[in-house]
Amino acid sequence: MTTISSGRTAEAPTVAPDLPDRTPPRLPELGPLELLRWMWRQLTSMRVALILLFLLALAAVPGSVIPQTPQNPAAVRDFVAAHPDAAPWLQRLGLFNVFGSIWFAAIYLLLFMSLIGCFVPRSWQHAAALRAQPPATPRNLSRLPGYRTFRTTAEPVSVVAAAGQALRRARFRVVAEPGTVRAEKGYLRDTGNLLFHLAVLGLLVAFAAGKMYGFRGSALVVEGDGFTNTVTQYDTLTPGRMLDPDQLSPFTLKLADFSARYLEAGPQRGQPADFAAVVDFSREPGAPMQTARIRVNHPLELGGVKIFLGAHGYAPVVTVRDADGAIVFHGAVPFIRQEPTSLASGGVIKVPDAVPEQLGFDGFFLPTAAFDPNLGPISTFPAALNPRLVLTGWRGDLGLDAGIPQSVYRLDTRKLTQLRAGSDAAAGPWRTALAPGQRAKLPGGLGSITFDGYREWVNLDIAKDPGRLPALASAALALLGLLLSLSIRRRRVWVRASADEAGRTVVELGALARTEAPGLDGEVDRLAARLRERLGVADGDGGSDRVLGTGTDLPVRDRD
Amino acid sequence: MVNETLAGISYNFVVSATAVYALALFAYVAEWAFGARSRVGRTVPELVMAGGGDAAVGGVGGDTNAEAPLSADGPGPDGVPAPDAAGVDRAERLGRIGVSLTVLAAGLHLAGVLTRGLSVGRVPWGNMYEFVTAGTLVVVLVYLALLRRFDARWLGLFVTMPVLLALGAAVTVLYVDAGQLMPALHSVWLVIHVAAAVIASGCFTVGAVLTLLYLGLDLRARRGLGPAYIGARRLPDPDVIDRLAYRVFAFAFPIWTFAVIAGAIWAENAWGRYWGWDPKETWSFITWVVFAGYLHARVTAGWKGRAAAMIALVGIGCLLFNLFGVNIWIIGKHSYAKM
Ligand code: HEM
């Protein structure tokens, strides 16, 4: 007798939803080839795919808890300093670069191997299923979850014709035979599922390719200064493995203006409201200059390279004269923001050309200066409403000639002496607070420093990712596949018409879905109702509607 | 820029909604308590006919509850002796009051979210307070939508409880004054991304509530205890609830997928990379992978049922951690989505 399960497996490969899992893992006694095949079968089983998915999720966790070098190198340095014992171990395990670590790669590569091993045979099966006919009508329809029956005076031939027509109109694939109709629908579900898995694979490829052939970098540019897209002009640059750094697109640009607007009142006073930069650029040497505005969320795109606004700040412009009155330094010096909300910024000015001794200054730029009795000079607002440059000074050897690269934001004070406010030993450090245009004499006739004004700077984040659009396309296809797969039900309906002793025709309907199919009951009900209406019900036998209704759905509220 | 009056009105709406949810919860609890004392001997369809009129939206009149085929005069399945029609009626009425109050609260809640948006001239999901008020609204709307389609009033108790807790936290600890957003947050993709994330989170939450209920009822069934009741109504079988949970998750998952994609598009516009393993991104990835695992588990032999349900709970844990934990403990580029 044909049972439900044989009905399901009439076309075995596509019907059983979880084929590879049925056999429990059993170690074979055979040679290496068998072992390999066994391992492959395990790898491509649903259970292992599930476990690998979990491992992937689990493996991502430390990447969000422990600071990561690619995202935040400074936080990693702090972390290493704070945990000197654990840090080397974490380092060895790759925990400061989880998403670039071997073990993370191992997990997703295994998962994608599993995916391919799962995808290929399923595609073949599905291709075959697309060409196949709905399976034969099970002998005992009443054992199917969706079963309806009634009797009619119409001939079996017209029952079959009517059922075939109704099912075709409902876009089922229909095969009508003497006395029975078999129909199937919802092939798009599996197409969608395969599309989804393929697109996830495509997403990985696009992501990896984008990383390999793209780059990311950033460069601090002061208003009025320019930038040429070559390796040396970057402050940081992470080129992809397959990228030739000499082949960066050859644009140049000049930061004409940067402006930031801040909320001026209310509890959020000082919070940025908008940033914008105006740049003059040319796509390649000799090309005409053009002008563009870059705003947050609105990058400038030049030949596949995108230019974004990153951090920004102030660069005080100063002039330093030495003991002889000669100008030994003039320029804008970027100061780095110390306090994100008030933009109080710190920085140093190095004057190696001063005679008789080199000079160095360090201090603060306060965009809206105020004096706090406890904290001293502070900034109360990020816009330059009342700018002050607060400095202390040093003399001696800046250490620039030692050949060791030095941070431009820090003074190496080992060979420097701090300038004092007076000549006696008790005098405190020399310190000055300048408004724009003001000049301060240095103690001991060493010269003077003038605060001419300020310019703004902005970090340009520059990135190229050729995998961007393929990744977007893959993601969109994955979403499409997912929607198809999760919203469509693959289901089969059979109708049988047979004569009973009284010369009437018994009509039986049976339906089966491969997976959970809410609404299948209703669908069969509607079909049964239509057939009853078309064929007429033999008197006294309206039939039974829920002989074996699935009974597994929530009761639906009756609505009209 | 910020309309303070409107912001105040919004806050009052949300607080009133919270109060009305509390009343609704009270009604559901009372229904449960009364029903537990008096339920027996009546099938619910009879009751509904006796009870007459319908409640507001999602009222319960006309339901057929074929799942409660208790005989009219014999003892109930738990062996409780005599029917107490008056008590059952009262429980039924309380349940309907609960639904009406929920609808009322949802109306106030919606008004609160809308006025918040109007007060700042932007979409009202820019910080955690706003995210929670919008997300809980989605939870309630999903419940009411289920109620329109299914005989699912038993969910009321389990939905209003977490909503009440979350809203209570929102109006007290999470509250921030209406304000402008950081420039990086001025983007249509933000609007789309967060809207999708809010909707998906709300749906996931309803799924989690159903899953917990499923696990509880399943445990009960395995212990050999009789069917569970809320008021006079028998709860559906664990399997039925499990299936409903699956449908809710299967509805939410593509929305979450879309939210992650929209977020990536926004990140690309704002920072020049669509994926950078920022903690917020990492946790939405983890959540996504765990729910993909859940969907897999449902079709994997040996993982269906309880194991799959546990996976879904892990997924909801990840979702909540992303929403609260990451904002509070972990600093990333997203950290200006402040409390
Ligand atoms: C990158 C890894 C994977 C992800 C993110 C993923 C995700 C998903 C999701 C979300 C679903 C449910 C939606 C749908 O039915 O289309 C699904 C279904 C499915 N996946 Fe995967 N999957 C992955 C790998 C695999 C692998 C390795 C296999 C095979 C061993 C596999 C086999 C299946 C099958 C057979 C279904 C259909 C379930 C059904 O019939 O409802 N998947 N997958």
- What pLDDT, on the 0 to 100 scale, is given for residue A112? 94
Averaged pLDDT score across all residues of chain B = 80
Q: Which of A191-205, B181-195, B205-219, B282-296 has the lowest mean pLDDT?
A: B181-195
- What pLDDT, on the 0 to 100 scale, is given for residue A232? 86
- What pLDDT, on the 0 to 100 scale, is given for residue B101? 96
- What pLDDT, on the 0 to 100 scale, is given for residue B38? 56
Residue B44 has pLDDT above 60, yes or no: no
At residue A295, φ and ψ (nearest 5 deg) are -125, 170
- What pLDDT, on the 0 to 100 scale, is given for residue A279? 94
Residue A500 has pLDDT above 80, yes or no: yes
pLDDT in tens, A39-62: 888 888 888 899 999 999 999 999
Interface of B with A in 124-153 (CB under 8 A): 148-152
The one-letter code for the residue type at A405 is P
Q: Distance (Å) from the C-alpha of residue A355 to the closest C-alpha of chain B?
A: 45
Q: Distance (Å) from the C-alpha of residue B290 to the closest C-alpha of chain A?
A: 7
- What pLDDT, on the 0 to 100 scale, is given for residue B48? 35
| 8 Å CB contact of B240 and A554 | yes
Query: Which ligand 1 atom is nearest residue A108's CA?
Result: 1
Q: At what angle do helices B279-297 and B306-320 cross, to 10 degrees?
A: 170
Residue B213 DSSP class? H
Instruction: For residue A220, give both structure tokens.
Output: 């601090």
B269 neighbourhood in chain A, CB within 8 Å: 297-299
| 8 Å CB contact of A46 and B148 | no
Q: What is the mean pLDDT of residues B251-260?
A: 96
- Distance, CA of B146 to CA of A555 (rounded, Å): 11
pLDDT in tens, A473-490: 999 999 999 999 999 989
| 8 Å CB contact of B270 and A308 | yes
Render A413-473 in DSSP notation, one character per residue: GGGEEE-BSSSSTT--B-EEEE-TT-EEEEGGGTEEEEEEEEEEEEEEEEEE-TTHHHHHH
Of A50, A272, A274, the CB nearest to B296: A50
Q: What is the mean pLDDT of residues B241-254?
A: 93
Residue that has been written with the tokens 């009105």 in this structure = B9
pLDDT in tens, B186-228: 778 888 998 999 999 999 999 999 999 999 999 988 888 877 7
Instruction: For residue B243, give both structure tokens.
Output: 């299936």
- What pLDDT, on the 0 to 100 scale, is given for residue A24? 54
- Which is nearest to B153 in space by CA: B41, B42, B56, B14? B56
Q: What is the ipTM of this complex?
A: 0.84
At residue A175, φ and ψ (nearest 5 deg) are -125, 120
pLDDT in tens, A12-44: 333 334 444 445 555 556 788 888 888 888 888
- Which of B274, B310, B324, B331 to probe the A interface (max A CBs under 10 A)? B274
Q: What is the mean pLDDT of residues A451-462?
A: 93
For residue A150, what pLDDT band results from cuts at 50, 70 and 90? confident
| Distance from residue A254's CA to the centre of ligand 1 (Å) | 50
- What pLDDT, on the 0 to 100 scale, is given for residue B26? 93
| Distance from residue B292's CA to the centre of ligand 1 (Å) | 7
Interface of A with B in 374-433 (CB under 8 A): none
- In terms of average pLDDT, the best of A91-95, A261-265, A420-424 is A91-95
- What pLDDT, on the 0 to 100 scale, is given for residue A116? 94
- Distance, CA of A399 to CA of A404 (rounded, Å): 8
Q: Which tops the pLDDT comparison, A252 or B74?
A: A252
Residue A215 has pLDDT above 80, yes or no: yes
User: Of all residues in chain A, what percent carry a pLDDT higher than 90?
Assistant: 42
Q: Which of A182-191, A410-419, A432-441, B121-130 has the lowest mean pLDDT?
A: B121-130
Beta strands in A213-339 (DSSP E): 215-222, 226-228, 236-239, 252-262, 272-282, 290-295, 300-302, 305-321, 327-332, 336-337
- What pLDDT, on the 0 to 100 scale, is given for residue A539? 62
| 8 Å CB contact of A554 and B269 | no
SS3 A296: coil
| 8 Å CB contact of A483 and B149 | no
Q: What is the mean pLDDT of residues B287-295?
A: 96
Q: What is the mean pLDDT of residues A344-356?
A: 89
Say if residues A494 and A509 touch (Cβ distance below 8 Å). yes
- CA A47, distance to chain mean position in Å, is 27
Residue that has been written with the tokens 């109080």 in this structure = A344
> If you take atom 17 of ligand 1, which residue's CA is the nearest one?
B296
Instruction: Flag whether residue A124 sits within 8 Å of chain B, measured between CB atoms.
Output: no
Residue A555 has pLDDT above 60, yes or no: no
Contacts of A175 (CB under 8 A, 6+ apart): A133, A134, A181, A182, A183
- What pLDDT, on the 0 to 100 scale, is given for residue B226? 74
Residue A225 has pLDDT above 70, yes or no: yes
